[in-house]
Structure 1
Amino acid sequence: MTHEDYLLTIDVPPSLEETLVDCLLGLDNVLKFSSFSSNAHDHLLQDLSLVEQVTGRQRKISFQIHVDKSGVAELINRLKTEFSGSGLHYWVIPIIVHGKL
């Protein structure tokens, strides 16, 4: 099975939410994206405040970005350029099926 569409998920701090929205809206290869509040959990405590260490979570905004096969590398390269050094965590998975109901 070959996959033509992919889902890139990226977690950003709330302070970068609007910047990422603006970036994504300016890209032609992004088919659609959603964003929502989430809590990130990580065993590495180095980037967590004391409160986050105690509660075991860090508030994030998660983005799920639907992108076609030809745009995955371009999107990741653009994000690496625009958000270099920000420590954002992302992952890409193939979309098996999608549609409208």
Structure 2
Amino acid sequence: MSDLVLLTLLAPPPLEDALVDWLLSTPGIQGFSSQVVSGHSSRTEGLSLQEQVSGRSRRIRFEAQIAAAGLAETLKALHADFRGSGVHYWVLPVQAVGGL
């Protein structure tokens, strides 16, 4: 078992550059990946008419492995810097890490 967790962020596209800058400057995050994804929900608040019709909204997904010991500080900074922005996050334990 590793002492890492996987922090996943889902963000509206206009926040992509701000989150890239934030992740690059946040202590404890040495690297991350990002990708364009589609979000699906039965809730329609905040969705454009096009998103409501298509049943999906475009999001940017960021994933970063961080030390579990630094998680609370990272989440505190995330809340301070992006409160009310529409960023959604979750955290999962990392069972193993490796490279081949």
Using the size of structure 1 for normalisation, the TM-score is: 0.93
Q: Is the 8 A contact 1:3 1:69 kept in 2?
A: no
Unaligned 5+ runs, structure 1: none
1:61 aligned onto 2:51: no
Give the 3-state SS of the residue equivalent to 1:29 in structure 2.
coil
| AA aligned opposite 2:35 | F
Structure 1, residues 45-66: CA drift from partner, whole Å, max 9, x if none? 1111111011110001100011
Give the 3-state SS of the residue equivalent to 1:16 in structure 2.
helix
Deviation, 1:3, is 4.6
Q: Is the 8 A contact 1:29 1:71 kept in 2?
A: yes
Identical columns (%): 42
Deviation, 1:11, is 0.6
Structure 1, residues 55-92: CA drift from partner, whole Å, max 9, x if none? 11000110001111111111111111110111211100
Deviation, 1:32, is 2.3
Q: Is the 8 A contact 1:5 1:69 kept in 2?
A: yes
> Could you say which residue in structure 2 is the equivalent of 1:88?
87
Q: Report 1:9-48 matches (<5 A).
A: 9-48=8-47
| AA aligned opposite 1:79 | L
Give the 3-state SS of the residue equivalent to 1:19 in structure 2.
helix
Alpha-carbon distance in 2 for matches of 1:31, 1:17: 18
